[in-house]
Amino acid sequence: MLQAGVMGSFLSLDLFMFFVFFEIVLVPMYFLIAGWGYEKRVYAATKFFLFTMAGSLLMLLAILWLAWSHAEVTGQWTFSYDLLSRLDFPIEQQMLLFGAFALAFAIKVPLVPLHTWLPDAHVEAPTGGSVILAGVLLKLGTYGFLRFAMPLFPHAASAAQPLLVTLALIGILYGALVAWVQSDMKKLVAYSSVSHMGFVMIGMFALNDAGLRGSILQMLNHGVSTGALFLLVGIVYERRHNRMIAEYGGLAKVMPLYATFFLIITLSSIGLPTLNGFIGELMILQGAFAANRVWAYWAVLGIVLGAAYLLWLYQRTMFGTLDKEENKKLIDINFREIMVVAPLLVFIFWIGIYPNAFLAPMEAAVRLLLAP
């Protein structure tokens, strides 16, 4: 059901059908968290549901307003994106309509200060739920901005650029600093997700070719790298039933293959050249620098902080003294788990070494979006 909702959201050309699928996604995700999650799973699932549903109600009103406006002009009610995109509203109306769409999508991204549901949902969700949430569901928000909010209300998107970029920059720095002080591995990765999605938003609202293409590529990169990190945290949790960083140390001695995978994925999340994160962040920084170089300066600080907290996580868990008796008996990553993680490693190297395979198909769509 979750997969159907996600595919429906990405394939809908009808705004009302998009809204229906956008909301359908909440139901199975609620049960995945509340049914198979950890101690505070019901609280986290309810918070996720209420946050995302509340934002979507204003978007529904905006969609109905668009359909009514089209009927006023043509005498025909429609929710077709192609027909509604031809409507031209005064800037005041555009700002209201864009704000309604933007709120729904900003909660889903999530953009600070609307992010508070995400760490709870990630931490309490089962491993599979966290991977789906990071890899796919957050992208419904950024996709919504690109596919609907920006093309339908271009003048409002341009006017809202400073506000949204400022919130994204705050999210990058806030997410990185909070991740740095976490004692729970899963919560660290959850806050890193807030930080990384800020980069996606900055690239998108740089409103230029490099920024937009980097933003779209970084959506994929984030899903691959952060999804893989959640998988690896889940693998070690299944063995120890503990996510506290202080409970580990020296894992590379008993789980060398696991430590190797963890290192590759950590470096891809940091943005090491030849791995997937590098090209996306580079293009986002190029786009941000072209739009306003101050944005790029602050964004670079987020990359430095990202390297700090991820390398510190790796150092504290994989290196050091193997002093916990429980850790000495841990079994290295097995064949089934390798088969789960290996496809993500393929994409990490593929995107990093030959990004044009992913950048070229988006060229026409980005050009159309930027057309005056």
For the stretch 148-195, pLDDT in tens is 999 989 899 999 999 999 999 999 999 999 999 998 999 999 999 999
* H or E element, residue 127: helix 127-132
Q: SS3 for 324?
A: coil
Percentage of the chain with pLDDT > 70? 100
pTM confidence score: 0.91
Question: Does position 241 have pLDDT exceeding 90, yes or no?
Answer: no
For the stretch 204-236, pLDDT in tens is 999 999 999 999 999 999 999 999 999 999 999
HEC-encoded secondary structure of 12-51:
CCEHHHHHHHHHHCHHHHHHHHHHHCCCCHHHHHHHHHHH
Q: What is the pLDDT of residue 199?
A: 93
Q: SS3 for 40?
A: coil
Q: What is the pLDDT of residue 322?
A: 83
Q: SS3 for 184?
A: strand
Confidence band (pLDDT; 50, 70, 90) for 106? very high
